[in-house]
Amino acid sequence: MEQLNAWFTRLLADNEIFTAQTIGYYAHGLANTAQLVLLSLLIGLMLAVPLAIGRSSPRPWLKWPIFLYTYVFRGTPLLIQLYIIYYGVVFVEGIQDTWLWLILEKPFYPALIAFTLNTAAYTTEIFRGAIKATPRGEIEAARAYGMSRAKMLRRIVLPSAFRRALPAYGNEVIFMLHASAIASVVTIMDLTGAARFVYARFYAPFDAFLFVAAIYLCLTFGILYLFRYLEKRLLAHLKPQT
């Protein structure tokens, strides 16, 4: 183990580009990417469930505003959404004097807001589709039992909707990971930001970007296997019977 350490440090020291300092930047970038992606997915998910329920409701005053929200956020590029929130937030009158500024000043939080709103919109549509696809039989049975709408949602519709949404949501998680690279555009030192820094300093595009591409590839595969495992566990009942 010691020998491995020594060899690794020597490798880093000899290499002009992959020094301990630049690996540090990549590590820092990885941490930032992970934070951004996980937080936005989590909050987006929590927002999406009630929004999806509202979207599938028959009440127009609930359905249409949510539809407008998902239409706009799914129909415009994430980059634009990020720019509007990052630059636009500054021009709210007097915002620099409020406590909000302490959060909005750092580029991380406007980016988090943009990513969260974006993934919430997509996830809402995914869940809505899953809710809509609930087999009629189950709903009829629930009604026959005299369940209230709320109880039916909680006991029957939502659990099976979650499982149905799993494949599509797995895709959404991977999209979010890839979309997070855009954060580097507003100076956030995420994985892509680290790559751009190394490229700018050493004029070595292949080293800088191939390395980071490899990291993203590993992360993507990790997520893919995680969701395959989840699908196996939770969707086993839907697999074709051999």
Partner 1 sequence: MVDQYKKLGIRFMKKLLTVSLLSAAVLAGTAQARDYDTVRFGVDVPYEPMEYRLPNGDLTGFDIELGNALCDEIGIDCTWTVQGWDGIIPGLLARKYDAIMSSMTINDQRRKQVLFSDPYFTPPSAWFAPADSKITVPSKQTLEGKTIGVQRGTLQDNYATDMFGDVADINRYSTADDMVLDMDAGRLDIVFLDFPVGKSTLLDSNNGDYKIVGKMISEPKKYFGDGFGIAFRKRDKELAEKFNAALATLKDNGTYDKLYSKYFETKK
Partner 2 sequence: MIDLQGYGPRLLQGAWVTIELGLLSLLLSIILGLLTATAKMSRSWIAHRLGTLYTTLIRGVPDLVLMMLLFFGGQIGVNMITDWLYYQFDIDIFININEFVAGVVTIGLIFGAYMGETFRGAFLAVDSGQIEAARAYGMSESLMFRRIRFPQMMRHALPGLSNNWMVLLKTTALVSVIGLTDMVRVAEEATKATHEPFTFLIPVAVIYLLIASVSEWGFARLQKRYNVGFGES
Closest CA to 50 of 163, 141, 137, 131: 131
Binding status of residue 40 toward partner 2 by CB under 8 A: no
Take residue 95 and report the two structure tokens written for it: 């915002």
3-state class (DSSP) for residue 108: helix
| Distances 198 to 187, 218, 228 between C-alpha atoms, Å | 14, 20, 35
Q: Which does 174 bind (CB under 5 to 8 A by kind): partner 2, partner 1, none?
A: partner 2
Q: Which does 65 bind (CB under 5 to 8 A by kind): partner 1, partner 2, none?
A: none
Q: In this chain, which of 17, 43, 62, 185 binds partner 2, going by CB under 8 A?
A: 185
We find the least distance from the C-beta atom of residue 182 to partner 1, in angstroms, to be 13
Q: In this chain, which of 75, 137, 146, 240 binds partner 2, going by CB under 8 A?
A: 75
Would you say 108 or 152 has its CB closer to partner 2? 108
Q: Which does 107 bind (CB under 5 to 8 A by kind): partner 1, partner 2, none?
A: partner 1
Token pair 């909050």: residue: 43
Binding status of residue 87 toward partner 2 by CB under 8 A: yes
Q: What are phi and psi of 38, to 5 degrees?
A: -65, -45
Would you say 72 or 100 has its CB closer to partner 2? 72
Site for partner 2 in 199-238 (CB under 8 A): 199, 205-206, 209-210, 212-213, 216-217, 220-221
Neighbours of 6 (CB within 10 A): 10
Neighbours of 173 (CB within 10 A): 19
**Pairwise CA distance, residues 228 & 160, whole Å:** 17
**Pairwise CA distance, residues 124 & 122, whole Å:** 5
Would you say 218 or 235 has its CB closer to partner 2? 218
Closest CA to 115 of 81, 67, 71: 81
Residues that bind partner 2 (CB under 8 A): 71-72, 75-81, 83-84, 87-88, 90-91, 174, 177-182, 184-185, 192, 195-196, 199, 205-206, 209-210, 212-213, 216-217, 220-221
